[in-house]
Structure 1
Amino acid sequence: MPQLFHISDLHFGAEDRAALDWLKQEIARGRPDAVICTGDLTMRGTVREFDAAGDYLLSLGIPVSIEPGNHDMPYYWEMVSRLRRPFARFEALRARAHSDLPLGDVTLASLPTVTPAQWRINWSKGCVKQPALNAALRRLEGAQGLKLAACHHPLVDADTHGTGSTRGGRRALAALAGAGVSAVLSGHVHDPFDLNVETENGPIRIIGAGTLSERTRATPPSYNRLDYAPETGLSVAVRAAG
């Protein structure tokens, strides 16, 4: 039975070292097949923060699938870099530390929801662009077993203190439900959630991981443990530090 750990929002530069050490112990004890990280590995998108995040992820000793978050771009005072090469530092980290899931009966499709600029005041919010959605749907074509999608922002807002306010999120959820996706994994709001959402193509589950940084909200640092069996489907357990 495959087991995955879903983590998010490590925010190196504002990381919680005790929480990161605890996660490493949890991985050593639980021996999951892989880790899925749904973004915001850094706080300000600096080279130093990305280096620290890469060192940590590699030290886990198991495959880690990595998504970008809105903090994983050059910050606003580096506007030229943010607009010209927004994901260069993230892609360098991804080349160093990312692995595809080593599981034949689980397919994970990446759905980036971050953008360096957009036509609203708060650029930290989510946005699903059609080319990104098309690429995710192509990844899922012909897949068997459990189908998952991973992004940073919740595609629709859950009942949490923070919001993703993701433009195009409901349309994307409907398309993913039509493609047979069981759940969409995300982060961003720093609190875990697990909800079923009705779409025009049927129900789909949205699952959010908390944070492993000092920037906690309603819940302590945490991660999600995902277990899958064809007979019983996907089960999720929130594991909190302390």
Structure 2
Amino acid sequence: MEEPKQDVISALRQKEEELESYRNRSALRQKEEELKSFKDRMAADLTSSIETGDTENMSNTVSQTRLKKMYDKLKLQHWPKVKDCLKANNGSSQTARAVIQKWFQEAAKQMEKRKEQINEVFGLTQDNKEPTHQKVREYRQLTVQNLQLALYHSGREHNQISLPQYDGQYPQDVVDIFRSLVSECYQLGCLMALNHPPLIPDWQNHVPGMDSWDIFPQEITPVELI
């Protein structure tokens, strides 16, 4: 009687091992399918982001998140020091605001021209009615992104900022300090304009409040693409 009993126990154990092995293989197949599905989704998202420029790569030095941090640093750290210097020399908050806003707008205008030139190179003009290959649009967007990176690494010292409202009206060191800030505004404005979608300080909804020197809007907002 003992031997048949052992055979039954052995058979049960074998069945349990086979069942466990089957479960493991099924679980493995399920994990492999989930991994493949995830990779497919990521590949599709990456392709879409290359086409549109919407990808938010945190290692990218000019990602939208980084641009917002640059703007906050400009507004909260750099501007207060320059503001105090201007106020100490009887500067005008209205004039300072007009100059800063002008150079942000000038940056957007210049970058729009650059993008139009890039579009012409890739044949993406309004006059071209032929369908455009997907790869052409991808390479066009990569070109804009490379231009954005090139401007970031070139530094603001290459920007020729003219301040006729200040030259000769204030001590040279005050003019130089303000010119440095405006140059930084211009460079950041260029980087924001090359983002997808382009970004601008929210001048329209900015209310200075009690402090007329509260020049910079709280937020930067995307420009509606037409």
Q: Normalising by structure 2, what TM-score?
A: 0.24
Larger proportion of helix = 2
Larger Rg: 2
Higher RCO by CA contacts (8 Å cutoff, separation 6 or greater): 2
The structure with more strand, counted as a fraction of residues:
1
TM-score by length of 1: 0.23
